[in-house]
Structure 1
Amino acid sequence: MLPAKLLGWKPSSYEIYCQAYREFGGSVCNHPLVLKILEDRAPNQIQFFHKEANGKIVGAFFTDKCGEIIHPHKKIPVIFENIILPISPDLGSFYLPAKSKELSIRHKKQFLNFTYGVLNRRSICLVKDSFSKKTNKKRQSDMNKFLKNGGEVVSASSFSSEQLSAIYLKLSGMRWGSQHNHSDITELAEFIESIRTMIFGNVLFYKGEPCAYDLIYQAECNNWIYFDDHNGGIDTTIKDFSVGSLLLFANISEARNLCQQKNKEFIFSIGRSNDKWAYKKLWSNEIKLGKSIF
């Protein structure tokens, strides 16, 4: 990998990175607040770089000490995938002095040392821009039936961070067969509180009890809002309704409406493509990710 300094990139700072992110945007995993949380927990693990043109910042990025676009601290529920770097789209084809297997398709043809497709099997599932009238009608009908039979859709903003943590861990435990204790609730609650301004979505209730919740983050910039559905849980004892699908429908609908209100592009990730999770194909398109090759 070629040295950054030889390619016009200067050693930079968190503050300049924030400036570039505000201007050019990014995804959730490389949002300045996420990086701050990671650095607070494991300081001095990443280095920043920026590029200037005519005295203006035209892009910035960061890497770990091995040159990879990632933060080595792993103990928070954020995954570095579909990385959109805060770099001007007008900046032509050039070599990016960094490594990754998770770069967004938005940078295709922008970086000479990244490839998409055959050499990188990784793909991200991005929710479709729209669904057919038939699909929307069926999903709305299912939602109406749920609401008429003891179901509720409650905004995540109605709950404290500790409540969201407890709901998430209980329902994800039911879904995945995992166990948790009080310290797990406290630890996750502290993280949720630290990233509270980025928390998005709803909690589904059935007959007065939480039955579905996904931990979703949102990252907003000048041109788009990026929603990242990290993971979630459901009450697996409920057989009358597909509460996971109902929740996803509610969250996608709300996210789309928010983007329309603000006249911003809608980007909603439901995570990595995997044949084990075939349901994702009903909601999303599989988009190839970029991998550095030299």
Structure 2
Amino acid sequence: MLNYIQAWRERGWQVIDALAYQQAWQRYGGSVATHPLVVEQLAGLAQIPVRYLGWVEGGELKAAVPAWGRHLALSKDVLKRQGKKGLFDLGNAEIILPAAVDAGAPLRHAGRYLSELSQGRFSGLKAQAEQLAMARPHEDLSKKFRYNQRRELRLLEEAGGVVRPIGEFTAAQIAAMYCDLFQRRWGFPAVGAERMADVLERLGHLLIGSVLLLDDAPIAIQLVYRVEAPEWVSVEYVNGGVDPETRAFSPGSVLSFLNTQAAWEHANACGKPLRFSFGRADREYKERWCNPVQVFQS
């Protein structure tokens, strides 16, 4: 029965290998959560094999999907069902699967937060009630808002605050800072805290942004991953932590300003649009930084 259901779901698709999926992603693009390295490393951590499928037309691979059973790979539902809930955290990431613009491939695997770019690339999509928060260009932020961010950064630096690139720290250091600041900010452990150092060891070179320190102690950090697609730059802001005792300096807001600014500068230098996702549009602070965008589910 299960084989029959799988055959029905995959009709028209064919099994491909990880290399073919990687080549499809490099040709058609994708997002952080579908990047070949991210899929391979996090699926490996979870010890759940990935089934790669390709949609071929005229002898050409037009779309590709990484699957865990009837779900897209890295699905929270699959992790939960296998007793591995919260093993790693990608937030509610924007999902862009590699596909030609006009592929129209039928997507029958369950997935949520599928990008608006998926329209035309895939069929069988339904509009999702929730929206994603996508960072606005800094020139679209009000002059007063930008002035206030720069002022807060200046006040922090005058008090001895330091901005350091996250790449200067080891995976273990980043994990320790993030888990500590998250716990202090929210009062409960970060998702994936137990294996955070392992995840960052695997994906750390995709991290971008800075860490804020005051008196040599970290006071704000964010997990922000970036991957380069052929026609856009995909950035996923997973979550962050701040020291609540330094709230007077607004370190979280200052860090968001610095990290988004750096991401926009990088994308502009590459001549590519930036898709900087703050995850689900569910918090008031995201309204200051982002535009809500429609997403789909399959």
Instruction: Name 1:210's counterpart in structure 2.
Output: 218
Equivalent runs, 1:95-244 vs 2, <5 Å: 95-116=106-127, 120-130=128-138, 131-178=141-188, 187-244=195-252
TM-score by length of 2: 0.86
Residue aligned with 1:227, SS: strand
Distance apart, 1:77 and its partner CA:
1.9
Answer yes or no: is 1:286 the counterpart of 2:297.
Answer: no
- Higher mean Cα deviation, 137-146 or 250-259? 137-146
Structure 1 regions of 5+ residues with no counterpart?
none
User: How much has 1:173 moved relative to structure 2?
Assistant: 0.9
**Alignment deviations for residues 120-175 of structure 1 (CA, whole Å, 9 cap, x no partner):** 31211110133233332332222222222211111001111111111111100111
Structure 2 residue runs without a partner (length 5+): 80-84
SS in 2 for 1:215: strand
What is the rounded CA distance, in whole Å, between the counterparts of 1:190 and 1:44 in structure 2?
A: 16
Matched, 1:15 2:24: no
User: 1:173 aligns to what SS in structure 2?
Assistant: helix
Structure-2 separation of matches of 1:30 and 1:261: 24
Query: Following TM superposition, by how much is the alpha carbon of 1:262 offset from its aligned partner in structure 2, in angstroms?
Result: 1.5
Q: Deviations over 1:267-293 (max 9, x none)?
A: 11111122xx2111110011122023x
Q: Deviations over 1:24-76 (max 9, x none)?
A: 11111111111111332344533111123443322211222124454434411
Higher mean alpha-carbon deviation, 262-271 vs 43-52, is at 43-52
After superposition, the CA RMSD in angstroms is 2.3
Aligned-pair CA distance for 1:4: 5.3
**Is 1:56 equivalent to 2:64 in the alignment?**
no
Change (3 A) 1:282 1:203: same
1:209 positional shift? 1.5
Structure with a larger share of its residues in helix: 2
Letter paired with 1:161:
A
Rounded to whole Å, the distance in 2 between the matches of 1:66 and 1:57 is 21
CA deviation after TM superposition for structure 1 residue 110, in Å: 4.1
The corresponding residue for 1:263 is 271
Normalised by the length of structure 1, the TM-score is: 0.87
Relative to structure 1, the CA distance from residue 107 to residue 189 in structure 2 (aligned partners, 3 Å threshold; closer, same or farther) is: same
Distance in 2 between residues matched to 1:254 and 1:102, nearest whole Å: 25
Asked if structure 1 preserves the Cα contact closer than 8 Å seen for 2:132 and 2:293, the reply is: yes
Q: Report the Cα distance in structure 1 between the residues aligned to 2:175 and 2:110, rounded to whole angstroms.
A: 34
Residue 90 of structure 2 is matched in structure 1 by 78
Q: Give 3-state SS (helix, strand or coil) of 2:235's partner.
A: strand
Q: State the alpha-carbon separation in 2 of the partners of residues 45 and 241 from structure 1.
A: 45
Provide Cα deviations, 1:195-232, integer angstroms capped at 9, x if missing partner. Answer: 12211111011232210001111111212221111111
Residues 82-128 of structure 1: per-residue CA shift (max 9 Å, x gap): 2101111132x452232223211111354331122xxx312111101
Partner in structure 2 of residue 65 of structure 1 = 69
How many pairs were matched up?
Answer: 282
SS in 2 for 1:122: strand
Distance in structure 1 (CA, Å) of the matches to 2:43 and 2:112: 22
CA spacing shift, 1:239–1:103, aligned 2, 3 Å: closer
Report sequence identity in percent. 26
Residue 184 of structure 1 and its aligned partner are, at CA, apart by 5.2
